[in-house]
Each structure stands twice: as structure tokens, then as C-alpha cells.
Amino acid sequence: MPTTTHHSTTTPVGEIPGIVQRVRQGATDGLLRTRDQREAQLRALRRFLVECEDELVTALRDDLGKPPIEAYSTEIGFTIGEIDHIVSKLARWMKPTRVKVPLKLRPGRARLVPQPLGTVLVIAPWNYPVQLVLAPLAAALAAGNTVVLKPSEVAPATAEVLARRLGDYLDPRLVAVVTGAVPETTALLEERFDHIFYTGNGTVGRVVMRAAAEHLTPVTLELGGKSPAIVTAPTDVEVAARRIAWGKFVNAGQTCVAPDHVLVDRELEAPLVGAIVAAVHRFYGDDPAASPDYARIVNERHHDRLVGLLDAGGFDEVALGGEHDRDQRYLAPTVLRGVAPDAAVMDGEIFGPILPVIAVDDLDAAIAHVNAGPAPLALYAFTDDEELQERVVAETSAGGVTLNHTLLHLAVDGLPFGGVGESGMGAYHGKAGFDVFTHHKPVLAKRLKPDPALLYPPYPKWKQRILRRAL
């Protein structure tokens, strides 16, 4: 798949403190205090996505080989939908919330007043380099914060478009883009922010947390993990296979909530594998390398890592795929059978188009397998039995769950998206995104009169008796 070389300019490290100070001054000046101010920036961000769609689609093709419809549906259109939802609800979210005052503290009025945190840093990954930088940006702007964005250097074409074009739409006193790699990110993390929002892996997440601790800055970490798909009878194997194959191989498996592996009832393993193989052939043809609908690995380093997982063995059979081309950053949709627990492919998140299928005795064994490891970012369960569905939900821990499909819980506006344990902390999307960048300030208002002396010292015994009953 041909690519275009992009030469994005790296932000000089020496300019970073001034950039942060400029955006922080925008917060200090209250440039996003009102709903009209916030909505103006959100609508401008939406115009950027609409008017720069062609540039973004081209960049996503260059970085990840994304097909145009995949680029639109999972990145551009997804983010437009998030912005539209935020704008439609923002007036309600910004209103103070009344809180009931206990009888002992009346007369008085209590409320929670939503206020922005100040200036936030958003550090985005490379796998969805439009959605995962701009959806948090939209939430932060809705909450009234100014924002510094750090797109991933691993997706340089997309980072270049963001750095070059966002300033044409958004007020530079409110939003700044810093490009570069580790030195630039390190310089950013030395600055003081009021919140840091990081999406990526746990290793870098720990670095972000350590840096944030120096300023006692709160963080949101959107990480990952080995998200399992459980398939247990009774179920429609062909439908389950089709939905697992779609969720796994979209974006060539480079999705934080992609099914990492499948745990399937032993008697269903062979038909499920056969149905997944058939689904992949229907999706991408006999030669996925020639399919216009199949993406590429982001770079040679990640390609080599994935091929290394296959070369390490630890499985009985490659039921599908395995073909690869380093120059084209191509790795075929690959399905493995007979995978050993200590196989390299089972050590850490795969984050690529390799799907281990593991036969287990029953649902109890599948649940035990899930609970033996860290809580994943997502979990999928395929069965027609609602009692079994509820067992999976109740007896496992995961950031989010979709029953009888994959990925789709991300698209529900009212469902927060985030991890638990090692798969992350904090959540966003919809109201949860507004809340993560908001301080809901408690306010109690009292009248100056009446002002009973009972509350104040001195405290003779009779007054103590009354106070102990009242408080």
C-alpha cells in the first residue's frame, strides 16, 4: 500500500513552557467561562473534522493504511457524533445541581456548581490518532478547560495535519498542539497542569503518573489489556464468529478494546474457528493484502514485534493467515489454535491481527481464566442464555462489557468508557467526559439571621446535650 512521506516539524523543547503558559493564561482570563464560548469552540472543532476530512483520511491511510470508511466511522464520524451529543446536552450539564440541606442545617441552600479544572494535557496514542486526541479535547472544552494536545509521533501524518490545521479553527489561546517524541513529552510532563489525560500502554502510564505526582496533578489513564471474548453454549456460532472477526481485525487489530483472544467451549472450538476463517474470507477475500478494506501495521517495529510472537510458537496450528510483508507493513488476519498458557502471544496485549482461540471445559473455566489475570479494558460474551450472560457480568471485572457483539459499548453516549485496575483509571465519553474535566464545587448558602448562640462556645452540659442530639 503506497504511502506519502510527511515531514512534520517538531515543537522545539525550549518553546514548550511558553506554549503552556499561553494556554494557561487563556484559562486564567476565563475565555471559556460561558456556554456560548464553549459551544463556539466545539462547533469550530466540528468544522475542522468536516472541512479537513480528506486530509485526515489521507493521513490515516498513510499512517495505518486505514480504508476511507473505517477512517470515517471509527475516527472522524465517531468524533463528530461525540461533539454533537455534547453540544445537545451542554446547557443541562453546566447547570448547578440542587442538593437537599439536612434539617439541622436549615435555613440554607446547597448546590454543586460545575467549574473547569483549568488547563489540561491530553497525550494521545497512534492507533486512533484522530478520535483519541479530539474526543478528549471536546470533553475538556465542554467543561471549560484550555488544552495542550500531544498527538503521537508514531502516526506522523495525522500529527502533522492536527498541528498545521487545528489552529485555523480553534483559538490558539485555548488549544495548542505540541509535536514530537519522548523529549517533547518529557518537557510537557515537567510543566504543571490541572489534569493529565493519557491514552496508551501501562508502561508509559506509570511514567505519566510519576510525573503528575510531582505537581499533585490528577490523571485519567486509558490503558489496555488482554480483552477476552467468551463463547459458550447455547449460541449462534456463525454470528459470534462474524462479530468477533470484525472486532478483532478492524484497524488490523490495533484497537485497545479488540478481542485479544477467545475462550470457547471445547465442543464449539472447531466450528467457531471454521466460522471465523469463513468470515475473514468474506470480509477481505482470499488475499487480504489486496483488499481495500484491510489496514496495515503502524510501522516496522510493531510489525517485527507481532511476527516475533508468531515465530516464538507455543501453539499447535495456524488455522488462518500468518503471511506477512515487512516492506508493506502487512500482517494477514491470523487465527491460532492449541495455544499454550505460556505462549509468547499470551504474554501481554497482542495489539495486532493475531487471534488465539483457546478451548476451555465450560463457562466456569472461562471465568477462572479471565479472573486469573489483570482486569481487561473490555470483555465480550456470546451466549443466548441470559443467566449465563449475567454470570459473566457479575463474576468478572472489566472496564466495559458488550454481550453478543464486540466494540459497540464505546458508541453508546450514556456509557462511560474507561478501564479498571491495570486497564486504566477514570472514564470519559458523554457526561462522563464532561465530569472528568470538571470540579463540581460544593456551595452552601446561609442567611445571616437567625444566628442562634447554641452553636458557639462556651459549651455547658445542657448545651452539649442538645448539640449531641442535633448534630
pLDDT for residue 351: 97
At residue 400, φ and ψ (nearest 5 deg) are -160, 160
pLDDT tens per residue across span 352-369: 999 999 999 999 999 999
Angle CA 345–350–354, to nearest 5: 75
Place of cell 490503558: 223
Exposed/middle/buried for residue 387 (C-beta within 10 Å: 0-12, 13-18, 19+): exposed
- What is the fold, at CATH topology level, of the domain defined by 13-223+421-443? Aldehyde Dehydrogenase; Chain A, domain 1 (3.40.605)
Q: Annotated catalytic sites, by residue?
A: 222, 256
pLDDT tens per residue across span 79-116: 999 999 999 999 999 999 999 999 888 999 999 999 99
pLDDT tens per residue across span 334-350: 999 999 999 999 999 99
How sure is the predictor about 8, in pLDDT bands with cuts at 50, 70 and 90? low
Task: Give me the residue spans of the domains in the chain.
Answer: 13-223+421-443, 228-413
Separation between Cα atoms, residue 285 and residue 324, nearest integer Å: 16
- CB–CB of 124/447 below 8 Å? no
Q: Collect all residues with Cβ–Cβ distance below 8 Å to 216 and sequence separation of at least 6.
A: none
How sure is the predictor about 420, in pLDDT bands with cuts at 50, 70 and 90? very high
Region 154-178 average pLDDT: 97
Q: Which residues of 165-296 form beta strands (DSSP E)?
A: 175-177, 195-199, 219-222, 228-231, 261-265
- What is the fold, at CATH topology level, of the domain defined by 228-413? Aldehyde Dehydrogenase; Chain A, domain 2 (3.40.309)
- The pTM of this model reads 0.95
The overall average pLDDT reported for the chain is 96
Q: What grid cell was written down for 437?
A: 474535566
pLDDT tens per residue across span 48-73: 999 999 999 999 999 999 999 999 99
Separation between Cα atoms, residue 426 and residue 412, nearest integer Å: 17
pLDDT of residue 205 exceeding 90, the answer is: yes
Neighbours of 450 (CB within 10 A): 6
